[in-house]
Amino acid sequence: MHPANEIRGAVSSELDGRSVLLGVTGSSAAYKAIDLARQLLRRGARVITLLSEKAAEFVSPTLFHWATGEKPITSLSGEVEHITLARLCAGMIVAPATLKTMAGIASGYASNAVVATAVVVNSMGKPVVIAPAMHAQLWRSPQCRKALELLKEEGYVVLPPVERDGRLVLPDPRDLARVSTAILLRGRDLEGFRILATAGAAREFIDSVRFISNPSTGRMGVEIAVEAYARGATTLLVAGHLEVSVPPWIPVVRVTSTQEMLESVLRAVKSVRPHALVMAAAPCDYKPSKRFAGKIDSRSAERIELKLVRNPKIVKEVRKVYDGVLVMFAAEPVSRAEECEERARAKLEEANADAIIANPVLSESAGFAKSTNEVLVITRDGRKMVWGPEPKEVIARRILDLVKDMVRRA
């Protein structure tokens, strides 16, 4: 067994039995494709690498062979590998993609194995994800704009580079793998949808440095936003405190307190007019009745009495002005998803939501600060499902499947 198989499926088994082609072209970012290949392996994929001649000068084909367990293809022969691979694969990712590569794919000028294979994969109706890497001046050139327009018209998905310190760099390989996995599994089935998600913990300040909050990292809400974006939805994330990063393609409105979160969601509902609102954030039910100026001097008092007052319930306030599909979350102090049902049904009814996602925060595999989740899902139309324990990105995919169904039924 090749050592690459030791990490296969370590994150999830979503791509089990699927072959994914990874095209690598002549960019200094080519070394990042090694990490991308490994991220895809961790989701269960078989990864077959195609290298342009220039890419092989940056990173040895031997390294890709070691990383994937599959011998890379560096040129095409009479065996028409690009046709065979296109028939075999679930889809293709080209990362990094140079401007020359993008222009070649857009025009069909098959100058190397990467370009030829991408063209054939796309012609078979399979997804091709392109992650460019180039100098900023090239990215902003008329030639690049024309190539991007053609690629979009022809059904390719382009994940833009990230601007960092005045330079354009390839996005994080984990983000590329995460988004590409969703596209490989679901395509762009949410194109035309507008989805607003919330994530993260609210903070209610006692003084200038101390606050009341909760252990939410924001991972679940971020995964929902990533899934929506990957599948083609116009996506906006309203986020409190996060301990996970948000991929650079997703617009984020940052907030601190529960009141700020409510106001931002209400503004977004009015401006974005979302088809669905998925509220995975963790607001605070209570806040201090007053905020002390500066920092309370701990030397001056043995005890400070803190009076808490109730915050508005964001879901209830939003429902007063929003009649689209509303999915709420509830963290319940139990150990198993099935134990959430009674409280979840009451909250669903009280909030007049379309679905509630209840998770048992005392479970070892669910709740705050976990990479996995286990949830009880109850819908207003009578459906009940238990999902997990599974990675939160898998739970997010299931939630967006449900949202898609509810929007279409509405």
Concatenated DSSP letters for 40-57?
HHHTT-EEEEEE-HHHHH
CB neighbourhood size of 123 (10 A): 13
Residue 410 — very low, low, confident or very high, per pLDDT cuts 50/70/90?
A: confident
**Start-end of CATH 3.40.50.1950 domains in the chain:** 3-186
- Between helix 99-107 and helix 113-123 the angle, nearest 10°, is 40
Peptide bond into 96 cis (omega under 30): yes
> In the predicted model, is pLDDT for residue 3 greater than 90?
no
Q: What is the mean pLDDT of residues 364-374?
A: 84
Structure confidence by residue, pLDDT tens digits, 56-77: 999 999 999 999 999 999 988 8
For residue 238, the cross-strand partners are 198, 253
Structure confidence by residue, pLDDT tens digits, 330-368: 988 888 888 888 899 999 999 999 999 998 888 887 778
Q: What is the mean pLDDT of residues 49-53?
A: 95
The pLDDT value recorded for residue 23 is: 98
Structure confidence by residue, pLDDT tens digits, 218-236: 999 999 999 999 999 999 9
Fold entry, domain 3-186: Rossmann fold (3.40.50)
Q: Classify residue 5 by its DSSP letter.
A: G
The pLDDT value recorded for residue 89 is: 97
* Full-model pTM: 0.94
> In the predicted model, is pLDDT for residue 261 greater than 90?
yes
- Nearest in space to 116 (alpha carbons), one of 70, 80, 78: 80
Q: What amino acid occupies position 299?
A: R
Q: How far is CA 370 from CA 9, 99, 339, 362, 391, in A?
A: 18, 40, 19, 11, 9
The pLDDT value recorded for residue 274 is: 97
The pLDDT value recorded for residue 302 is: 78
The CATH number of the structural domain formed by 194-409 is: 3.40.50.10300
CA atoms within 13 A on the CB side of 20: 31
> In the predicted model, is pLDDT for residue 78 greater than 80?
no
Q: Name the percent of the chain lying above pLDDT 90.
A: 82
Q: What amino acid occupies position 115?
A: V
**Start-end of CATH 3.40.50.10300 domains in the chain:** 194-409
CA atoms within 13 A on the CB side of 341: 7
Peptide bond into 389 cis (omega under 30): yes
Q: How far is CA 404 from CA 227, 238, 316, 384, in A?
A: 12, 20, 22, 17
Question: Mean of the per-residue pLDDT values for the chain?
Answer: 94
Structure tokens at 370: 């976990």
